[in-house]
Structure 1
Amino acid sequence: MNTKSRDALIPYLTVDGAARAIDFYKAAFGAEELARMPAEDGKRLMHAHLRVNGHDLMLSDAFPEYGAPTAAPAAVTLHLAVDDADAWWNRAVEAGAEIAMALEDQFWGDRYGQLRDPFGHRWSIGSPSRK
């Protein structure tokens, strides 16, 4: 694990199609791939380590034979606090993210919206409003 510190909380996603997810996260969120470990079956990824917006994100394909979860969580949102919500939003939508909540200036002072990636995970993007 290539984290800067042992004191961290790192989201770990289980997806159906981890290699495709890595490609999507690179296109949508500018992810940098740090590590990729193929499974013995040659079809799935046992583990991958990405860096998104300067922070770690790990993922793998589903491995039900090891008791790993197989479905995307419905109650989890990954939040990206960024410098320019519009730029990040547009890149993600162009890469294929589905709009779940439109990007708008919110009452709390942020420009904020939510997207759903092709693998079932929800992402929010926010930055201070420019108004």
Structure 2
Amino acid sequence: MISAVQPPVLGGPCPYLSVSNAAKAAEFYVEALGAHEVMRMPPDDKGRYMHIHLVIDGGSLMLADAFPEHGAPLEKPAAFTLHLQVDDVDAAFDKAVKAGGTVVLPVQDMFWGDRYGQFRDPFGVLWSMGAPIKKG
């Protein structure tokens, strides 16, 4: 399940999120988004994690707790959205909301040809999901 060896980073750009509780965030992403945890460094004496590596839909997502004493304070996520293109946006979005996400933009048909919606996870990160509108 979880490798002791550093796994390769998958996909294109890899988000590295600093959140209020990296362990709980990892649990949320597993439940809400079907993430697979591939690596976790041991926590420090305060229970904080410097590195957790997840894979979601073939791409890597990295997590860490804030370490303000080392120049990495917790900051409110802003000015970005993490997007997942999925097969069934309605089902995937509902799963994320049931796991604890908060609807920002309900799933709806959009002018560019996708069903699309946005939710904010319990750690403040904005996510969007989309799937091509099925014709017929």
TM-score (norm 2): 0.89
Which residue in 1 is equivalent to 2:43? 39
Which residue in 1 is equivalent to 2:86? 82
Hey, which of these two has a bigger chunk of strand by percent? 1
Q: Alpha-carbon deviation of 1:33?
A: 0.2
Change (3 A) 1:4 1:120: closer
Q: Does residue 55 in structure 1 map to residue 59 in structure 2?
A: yes
Structure 2 unaligned runs (5+)?
1-5
Single out whichever of 107-116 and 30-39 deviates more from structure 2.
30-39
Which residue in 1 is equivalent to 2:25? 21
Change (3 A) 1:8 1:128: closer
Report Cα offsets for 1:65-120 as digits up to 9, x if no partner: 11114113211100001111111101101101000011101011000010000000
Identical aligned pairs, as a percentage? 53
Alignment-mate amino acid for residue 71 of structure 1: E
Q: Does residue 130 in structure 1 map to residue 130 in structure 2?
A: no
Which residue in 2 is equivalent to 1:2? 7
Which residue in 2 is equivalent to 1:11? 15
> Is the contact between residue 12 and residue 59 of structure 2 (CA under 8 Å) also seen in structure 1?
no
TM-score (norm 1): 0.92
Where does structure 1 differ by over 3 angstroms across 4 or more consecutive aligned residues?
none
Structure 1 unaligned runs (5+)?
none
Give the CA RMSD over aligned residues.
1.5
Count of residue pairs the alignment pairs up: 130
Single out whichever of 55-64 and 39-48 deviates more from structure 2.
39-48
